[in-house]
Structure 1
């Protein structure tokens, strides 16, 4: 298996065989919705670097579906009343992130339940699964993702989406803490900027799991599926 450790490629041979069984794996795609990806100036929490991975993520998901790997789409959704954010204890990013990027016009509308901003930009098929009670940074909090994965008998999660240094990293930490094997598709995530993206991937590679290109992940899955089908 070819992975990236602290940004450098390594061939690990069969050392991570237990991470690569497609029959025990699910892809968790994080926050690929209009609230981050819409090109309108009204986009409430823009993540422009992630727009370039929409088509590659769709292609990866199509290939994974063909191999029987389930896709779980996770999106941030906040109650219209604002009780779980703006009118409760607001999420920290609303006050800290603007110190770096400046004011974020329309951020009050981010992820509001029933709004167009919660619509997925990536392809979602009827057989896919959706988790949409993500209120903060991790795909596991306060959602039913762990419950869903346990019932699917999933042992390995593969993350794609954004932000690498924010929601992907937080989700990778939580997945590891819940004792899942973690892979991050390094070409299918995007961070705030390249420096933070690379730093987040380095942290994953040292402490949480494997960082690998999506093509290498698919290649490993195809090899194992072919062996299983031939048996």
Structure 2
């Protein structure tokens, strides 16, 4: 089967990674595909414009995964109105550091506020899908109930898509690995701050945290069975 190791495609024996490849014990974790990142507007409070081009590919992958019985878990950032989780308490570090690179973000204070349009999903979310809607910081696992949800479904492998590759996806992959999940990141369905940081994040995953794969290779393996 094909994986990516330090940005290079590599054929590896599927038998070496059997514990990663069973769709019956796998969930897809889709991170932060909401309007607060994806809206094409100057008011977008935390813009991730590079991720807009993966909305429909993510939808297509999720549809295929559902037909195979793989649950989709949509995770998004939501902060209490009034700012107790962030600006009115100890602000998230990115609010102070990310603008050093991109410049001021005019509507950043509105990012992820509960009940605002910025927390509305952009990707398809179906009634049978699972949702985790209280991500307060960078990891999908902190301080959410995602770990409880996955363990209660007897999930042992997590497949990540969404954004940012070098931020929330990478943080979530580290936490998943530390919690002893098998980790797969779909290189064609995540987007980072820019190409260099995206490449660096995927390289780190491939060396230390799990498998980096293309979504169609994973789907084909699920459907046909991974060859030994």
Could you tell me the TM-score, scaled by structure 1's length?
A: 0.96
**SS of residue in 2 equivalent to 1:42:** coil
| 1:110 alignment partner in structure 2 | 111
Give the drift of 1:17: 1.7
Gaps of 5+ in 1: 226-231
TM-superposed CA distance for 1:44, in Å, is: 0.5
**Counterpart of 2:219?**
218
Whole-Å separation in 2 of the counterparts to 1:18 and 1:83: 41
Which runs of at least 4 in structure 1 moved beyond 2 Å after TM superposition? none
State the 1:185 CA deviation: 0.4
How far does the alpha carbon of each residue in 1:109-132 deviate from its partner, in whole angstroms, 9 at most, with x for none?
A: 000000000000000000000001
| In 1: Cα distance, 2:220 partner to 2:106 partner | 43
Q: Secondary structure at the match of 2:225?
A: helix
Match of 2:182 in 1: 181
Helix, strand or coil for the counterpart of 1:58?
helix
Unaligned segments of structure 2, at least 5 residues: none
Paired residues in the alignment total 225
Cα displacement (A) at 1:46: 0.3
Instruction: Measure, in 1, the Cα distance between the counterparts of 2:164 and 2:20.
Output: 23
Establish whether residue 8 from structure 1 lines up as the match of residue 8 from structure 2.
yes
After TM superposition, give the deviation of residue 16 of structure 1 in Å: 1.1
- After superposition, give the CA deviation of every residue in 1:156-179 in whole Å (9 maximum; x if it has no partner): 000000000000000000000000
Residues 76-116 of structure 1 show CA distances to partners (whole Å, capped at 9, x for unaligned) of: 00000101100000000000000000000100000000000
Alpha-carbon shift at residue 224 of structure 1 (Å): 3.1
Deviation at 1:40, TM superposition (A): 1.3
Q: What CA distance in whole angstroms lies between the structure 2 residues aligned with 1:224 and 1:10?
A: 19
**How large is the RMSD of aligned CA atoms in angstroms?**
0.8
Deviation at 1:201, TM superposition (A): 0.1
Counterpart position of 2:39: 38
* Separation of aligned partners in 2, 1:121 and 1:42: 16
Q: State the partner residue of 1:124.
A: 125
Q: Provide, for residues 173-228 of structure 1, a one-character-per-residue CA deviation record: whole Å limited to 9, x for no partner.
A: 00000000000000000000000000000000000000000000101110239xxx
Correspondence 1:40-55 to 2 at 5 A: 40-55=41-56
Q: Counterparts of 1:163 and 1:72 in 2: how far apart (Å)?
A: 17
Pair 1:152-2:153 in alignment: yes
Residue 54 of structure 2 corresponds to residue 69 of structure 1: no
